[in-house]
Structure 1
C-alpha cells in the first residue's frame, strides 16, 4: 500500500476505489500470473480506472529487478538537472537569465552568452590571465585586449557587420561596454525582441568566425554573418515560416489561431490536468477556411502534462479518416514546445534513416505533416476540448451535435470573425 508503482503515487494516495478487505497483505506479484497481469484478480481489488493504468505498466520477464523511470518526461531537462531542481526546490534563477530566456536564442547561442556573462569564453585575454597565451590582444589586429567589451562592440569585424545590417534597414546599436550591452538587451526584451535576437546571433557568429581565423586561417564574410544572424532569428519563432508551402499571406501569427495553407487541414491539440491526476486530452480539426471538421476529447488519469500532450497526438491514430488523406498536408499544432520539437525531430530522423517509432507510423499515411508550436491564445478551442474531456470523452463530427456547449461555438465564431473567415 505504501509502495509507489502506479505512476507517481502509492495506493493510499489514489483518489479512487480500492477494495482492501481481506487483501491488505497482498504483494505485487500476487497480481502477476505466468509473466502477465492477472486481470481477474486486479478487478477484485482495483477500480476500472486503476486497472486500465496498471495494464499499461510493462512486465519484462527477462529482467532480474525492477527499473526506475523518470517521473516527468519531455521536460527538456537532463536527469542531473531534475535531481538538482528537486533537491533545491526551485532555487532562484541567475538574474540575467530571468529575462535573457525571453530572447528565444538557439540553445548553442544561449549557452555562448551564458559563458560570456560568466567570463568563460577562451578569448586571448582569458588565456593570457591564466598564463596560457603570451598575447591578450585581438587576433584580427584591432590593437585592443580581447575582453568581453571588445567581443560585443569594439572589434573591427563586429563594426563591419553592424554597418552592413544597418545598411539593410536594421538599426543595430554599437556598444563599447559589456554591461551597457546587457542593459540594452534587457530593454529589448520588452520592446524589440527581434533586434535583440539578431544582435546576439551576430556576436556569436563573429566569435565563430574568429575561431576559424585562429585554427583554419580564414574567416566568414561579413555578408555571411549578417545573413545568418537574421536567418537564426527568423527560425526562433519571431517570423513563422514553417514550410516552403506558405504563401506571402500565410505567415503564422502565433498569438491567435491562423488557418493552414490552401488544401491543408490543421489539427490543434491540448491537454488539461487537475491536482487529483484527473486528465483530459482534446483537439479540434479545421480546414483552410477555418471550417469545423471534427473535435474530440479523451478522459484519462495521469500526472505528467507533457506526456499527456504527446498522447493527444498519438490518439489521432484512432481518428484518421479517408478524407484526411485527400488533403495536401496536415499541420499538428500544440502549445507545448518540447513535444513539438520531439515530434519534429522524429520526422527529421525518418527522412534520414527511414526509421520511425511505430506509434508515429500512421503519420506517414498523410501527404505531408508539419508540427507547429502555438501560444495558448492560438490554441483556445483545443484547450476547451481538453477541459471538457475532464468530465467525459467525446467525438463531434457535426456542429449540430446537441452535446457541443455554447462556449465552444462562441470561441469558434470569434476566431473565424477575427480572421474574416466563413
Structure 2
C-alpha cells in the first residue's frame, strides 16, 4: 500500500476506535519508500530483571542511520517494548524536517496497539504524554506490527542493551562485529 493510503486507513480506524495496526506478514525486513524512515524497536527482559530496549533506524536504501540500546530494570516485556517504540521515535527526531514520514515497526502486538492508541490521541500518564508530544512533532507516523523474524536487528540491540548501552549515529565508528550484525 502507498503511505498515504496507510495513513488514511490508520486515521479512519482511529476515529472508529479500531486499534488494529498495519500487519506486515513478511519474515524479512523491507525498506520503506523513498523519503520515509523505518524504525524497528524491541525489548528484552532477563531473569535478573535487567532489561534492554532497542531501536534501529534505517532509510529507503536500508542504510543504518541510528541505533540505540538502553539498559533498564523491568519485569514486563510489553512495557519494555513500548519504551523501545518511544525511544525509537526520539532517536529519529532530528530527521523530522527532512522526511515524509516514519514507520515505527515492532513485533509486540500490545506495544503496537499502545503506540497506535497514543497516535490517535488516547493516552494517559507522563510517559505516554511525552510520546504523544514527539508523535505530534513528526511529519507522519505509521505503526506496523511485524513478524519476529523481520525484527532481528532491533532484537539484537535490545538483548545487547541488557548488559551494555548503545548509542550510535551515522558517521560514528562501530566495532566490526557489531556493525556486521546491525547492518544486516
- TM-score, normalising length from structure 1? 0.36
**From 62, 70, 76, the counterpart of 1:298:** 70
Name the counterpart of 1:59: none
Shift of 1:319: 2.8
From the superposition, tell whether residues 411 and 296 of structure 1 become closer, same or farther in structure 2 (CA, over 3 Å).
Answer: closer
User: Aligned ranges for residues 220-369 of structure 1 at < 5 Å?
Assistant: 244=5, 252-316=24-88, 318-349=90-121, 357-359=128-130, 360-369=132-141
Select the structure with the greater relative contact order (CA < 8 A; seq sep ≥ 6).
2
Distance in 2 (alpha carbons) for counterparts of 1:280 and 1:242: 31
- Structure 1, residues 72-112: CA drift from partner, whole Å, max 9, x if none? xxxxxxxxxxxxxxxxxxxxxxxxxxxxxxxxxxxxxxxxx
From the superposition, tell whether residues 260 and 277 of structure 1 become closer, same or farther in structure 2 (CA, over 3 Å).
Answer: same
Shift of 1:243: 5.2
From the superposition, tell whether residues 362 and 349 of structure 1 become closer, same or farther in structure 2 (CA, over 3 Å).
Answer: closer
Distance in 2 (alpha carbons) for counterparts of 1:348 and 1:318: 18
Distance in 2 (alpha carbons) for counterparts of 1:267 and 1:336: 14
Distance in 2 (alpha carbons) for counterparts of 1:410 and 1:320: 21
Shift of 1:408: 4.7
Contact 2:90–2:134 (CA under 8 A) maintained in structure 1: no
The alignment partner of 2:183 has SS state of helix
Gaps of 5+ in 1: 1-239, 351-356, 414-422
From the superposition, tell whether residues 410 and 259 of structure 1 become closer, same or farther in structure 2 (CA, over 3 Å).
Answer: same
More strand by share: 2
Gaps of 5+ in 2: 8-22, 123-127
Distance in 1 (alpha carbons) for counterparts of 2:88 and 2:40: 11
Contact 2:24–2:146 (CA under 8 A) maintained in structure 1: no
- Structure 1, residues 339-368: CA drift from partner, whole Å, max 9, x if none? 112221222346xxxxxx522211111110
The alignment partner of 1:258 has SS state of coil
Matched pairs, number: 163
The alignment partner of 2:136 has SS state of helix
The alignment partner of 1:341 has SS state of helix
Name the counterpart of 2:157: 385
More helix by share: 1
Larger Rg computed on CA atoms: 1
Shift of 1:372: 0.4
User: Aligned ranges for residues 127-146 of structure 1 at < 5 Å?
Assistant: none
Shift of 1:407: 5.1
Name the counterpart of 1:372: 144
